Amino acid sequence: MTSRSAAARIDELRRLIDDANHRYYVLDEPQLPDAEYDRLLRELESLEQANPALRDSNSPTARVGSAPSGRFAPVQHATPMLSLANAFSESEVRDFVGRIERETGDASPAFSVEPKLDGLAISLRYEAGAFVQGATRGDGATGEDVSANLRTIRTLPLRLRGQAPEVLEVRGEVYMPKAAFERYNAWARDNGQRTLANPRNGAAGSLRQLDARITAQRPLAVYVYALGEVRFAKAAGPLPPTHSQTLAWLRELGFPVSPEVDVARGVDGLLAYFARIGAVRNALPYDIDGVVYKLDRYDQQRAMGFVSRAPRWALAHKYPAQEEMTTVESIEVNVGRTGAVTPWVRMTPVQVGGVVVSRATLHNADQVARLDVRVGDSIIVRRAGDVIPEVVRVIEERRPVDKRGRPLHAAYQLPGICPDCGSAIEREDGEVVARCTGGLVCPAQRKQALFHFASRRAMDIDGLGERFIDALVELGYVRSVADLYRLTVDDFVAMKRRADELSDSVPQTVKGGKVATRWAENLVGAIDRSRKTTLERLLFALGIRDVGESTAKALARHFGSLAPIMAADEDILTSVPDIGPIVAAHIAHFFAEPHNLVAIGELVDAGVHWPEGAPQRASDGPLAGQTVVLTGGLESMSREAASARLEALGAKVSGSVSKKTSFVVAGEAAGTKLAKAQELGVEVWDEARLLAFLAGHAH
């Protein structure tokens, strides 16, 4: 490359990387896949190395991260927060170890080996054993004060145990455990809140909340892995001589340190660790993107020193990217149980994080519009854990164009009619999701509804898998869930015979004759067993929009039986712990639909039954142990709704006033009960006082 074109390329790379840094660190909106970012940075590093005249102290290779966004107070790090050099191949690991062996003269140096957590780097400062300040990395020299948010993290020690140094700065990673991420998203979906894109974004977004109370509701955790400034009081100290001993010491002081940290020697030892962690990577409770090797002895670390970006005694060995590039072959839609229309792309199969994928979700029409994905586009796809792969972005520069330079394909539009039933697809104002309006007329929705109904955590009909349900619906044996309970052994055998004639939608393993009969008998038996169920399972099985298992359970506990749930209005439903107004509206809407009432009636007629019990309401709460009587009419809500709200706060609502009554709520035209309360000297609340109390204890 001529020095002229090298200069141009260096300039271009610096701009690309600066931009990527800004998006990643300041805006928390990463755009470039990590693998691509690493490639650019390495290209820039090698170009700068080959052209020393073009080096610049303002190059992205000369600093770590980017400036803080200025929303939090700046914090000057006592010692800079460094970055790590990356390796993607065994030979780079070999070079790293070789360099260290040569320069230290140690033929078999020890390394501390650790998982490379994929979260957010933080620095924690303790003085005289007390947590005084916590900061993000920022540009490495100056970060942002997020102390209030960090304090909300349960695993972060606020006071150290034992003999703590006068000043101790510890570096670590804030992350969101995968299970906590899934739980949070399930809750968010149930309550109409925005879901988090992935655990790393979840951790970053949560930590940078200006309101620490929001952070406190996010399930974050922290692991520490390095030291910043350390100052001992006269007698105490000094530091242990190795990094691994320091980690053990930090554990004793009360810091969480990953249980996967270990000590290894030689290239083989490091690679064995890389393989061992790689094998359990998906099963680890947190996301990692590699492992880190750190020369263990501090004297050897000092001998190796630093280059601009990173210590020469440490190396991050990365696993294959969870993001890759491929091409869109077609864009299609899927109709779900609630009619939700989900667009997805069929793409040229590609390996992502070790798995071949050929479909990726586009989530919804907004996402399609935002990404502007078109047929033929080059796209970045991402897989995170077991989550369905998703399209991250389009590489617009690679969009296929015609001779005049215009895009070959127009922007994609969601179809206006359902591909499964021909009903209109509509999107309500303010809704993200477009839906097929066909309801149970739509075979796609009917199949999904049946599949959900039969699933293990719902009615648990063993053996009634997706393919049989498809055949049952397509051949017209089943229209509603109750139809399942009318199916006989003969029906299944006949269905199987017809299905065999028409297609191969029934598994070939199910042969004709006796075997078919036994198979049908088993299925009918499984369906029969599912008649005996629980209220919680039934509520979940009905497939009410946004009613997952946890909401079904909350409903079942709160009401004890089905009838009051069916009768409850939105006000009453919102008084159930963890049910917000959106979910309450969906539940009320479901039970207001005549065809749903018919379906429930049919299920009961078909012998579906469950034990009904007494409501189990909060035995704690601000009104625990208090007995309340409501009398007269309330203006702002029904008496039932008021009772439910009071009960949700722990009160027992009673029909008659006695000396034991804690207080009486008297509405419009209250009569004898109010008089009785006054006679007994029982406290009386008016509606305004009740409303103020409820508002003060809203969940």
The catalytic residue positions are 116
Minimum CB separation of residue 35 from ligand IVH in Å reads 14
Among 87, 110, 121, 257, binds ligand IVH (CB under 6 A): 121
Nearest residue to ligand IVH, using CB?
A: 121
Question: Could you tell me if 612 and 562 are in contact, meaning their C-beta atoms sit under 8 angstroms apart?
Answer: yes
114 binds ligand IVH (CB under 6 A): yes
Among 6, 40, 54, 82, binds ligand IVH (CB under 6 A): 82
CA neighbor of 17 nearest in space, from 73, 75, 63:
63
298 to 317: interface string for ligand IVH, x by CB under 6 A: -------------x--x-x-
36 binds ligand IVH (CB under 6 A): no
Window 225-254: residues binding ligand IVH (CB under 6 A) = 225-226
Identity of the residue, 112 or 185, whose beta carbon is nearer to ligand IVH in the bound complex: 112
Identity of the residue, 136 or 185, whose beta carbon is nearer to ligand IVH in the bound complex: 136
83 binds ligand IVH (CB under 6 A): yes
Distance of CA 292 to the CA centre of its chain: 26
User: What is the rounded CA–CA span in Å between residue 642 and residue 668?
Assistant: 14
User: What is the rounded CA–CA span in Å between residue 205 and residue 27?
Assistant: 10
Identity of the residue, 116 or 178, whose beta carbon is nearer to ligand IVH in the bound complex: 116
Q: Which stretch binds ligand IVH (CB under 6 A): 114-122, 211-219, 273-281, 535-543?
A: 114-122
Minimum CB separation of residue 293 from ligand IVH in Å reads 10
Helices (H) and strands (E) in the chain, counts: 24, 22
CA neighbor of 248 nearest in space, from 198, 312, 296:
296
User: What is the rounded CA–CA span in Å between residue 151 and residue 157?
Assistant: 9
Question: Could you tell me if 654 and 629 are in contact, meaning their C-beta atoms sit under 8 angstroms apart?
Answer: yes
Identity of the residue, 277 or 442, whose beta carbon is nearer to ligand IVH in the bound complex: 277
Minimum CB separation of residue 226 from ligand IVH in Å reads 5
437 to 456: interface string for ligand IVH, x by CB under 6 A: --------------------
Question: Could you tell me if 85 and 310 are in contact, meaning their C-beta atoms sit under 8 angstroms apart?
Answer: yes
What the block records as the tokens of 515 is 């075997």
Rg (CA), the chain: 31
Identity of the residue, 24 or 519, whose beta carbon is nearer to ligand IVH in the bound complex: 24
Minimum CB separation of residue 187 from ligand IVH in Å reads 27
Q: Which stretch binds ligand IVH (CB under 6 A): 110-118, 193-201, 329-337, 428-436?
A: 110-118
CA neighbor of 124 nearest in space, from 81, 184, 82, 162:
81
User: What is the rounded CA–CA span in Å between residue 222 and residue 176?
Assistant: 8
Question: Could you tell me if 97 and 163 are in contact, meaning their C-beta atoms sit under 8 angstroms apart?
Answer: no
> Percent helix, strand and coil across the chain, each rounded to 5?
40, 20, 40
User: What is the rounded CA–CA span in Å between residue 218 and residue 184?
Assistant: 7
Window 274-293: residues binding ligand IVH (CB under 6 A) = 292
Which whole-number Å values give the CA distances from 167 to 131, 142, 161, 225, in the listed order?
10, 19, 14, 17
Q: Which stretch binds ligand IVH (CB under 6 A): 76-84, 421-429, 550-558, 639-647?
A: 76-84
Among 14, 77, 116, 673, binds ligand IVH (CB under 6 A): 116
Question: What single DSSP character describes residue 470?
Answer: H
123 binds ligand IVH (CB under 6 A): no
User: What is the rounded CA–CA span in Å between residue 627 and residue 652?
Assistant: 5
What is the chain's length?
699
Q: 373: which residues sit within 8 A by CB, 6+ positions away?
A: 328, 331, 345, 362, 379, 391, 394, 412
Identity of the residue, 316 or 384, whose beta carbon is nearer to ligand IVH in the bound complex: 316
Identity of the residue, 64 or 418, whose beta carbon is nearer to ligand IVH in the bound complex: 64
Identity of the residue, 251 or 479, whose beta carbon is nearer to ligand IVH in the bound complex: 251
Strands (E), 353-461: 355-361, 378-382, 390-394, 425-426, 435-436
Identity of the residue, 206 or 448, whose beta carbon is nearer to ligand IVH in the bound complex: 206
Window 624-643: residues binding ligand IVH (CB under 6 A) = none
Window 658-677: residues binding ligand IVH (CB under 6 A) = none
84 binds ligand IVH (CB under 6 A): yes
Q: Which stretch binds ligand IVH (CB under 6 A): 4-12, 80-88, 125-133, 352-360?
A: 80-88
608 binds ligand IVH (CB under 6 A): no
117 binds ligand IVH (CB under 6 A): yes
User: What is the rounded CA–CA span in Å between residue 667 and residue 644?
Assistant: 16
Q: 564: which residues sit within 8 A by CB, 6+ positions away?
A: 615
Window 153-212: residues binding ligand IVH (CB under 6 A) = 173
With contacts defined by CB under 6 A, how many residues of the chain interact with ligand IVH? Answer: 14
Q: Which residues bind ligand IVH (CB under 6 A)?
A: 82-84, 114, 116-117, 121, 173, 225-226, 292, 311, 314, 316
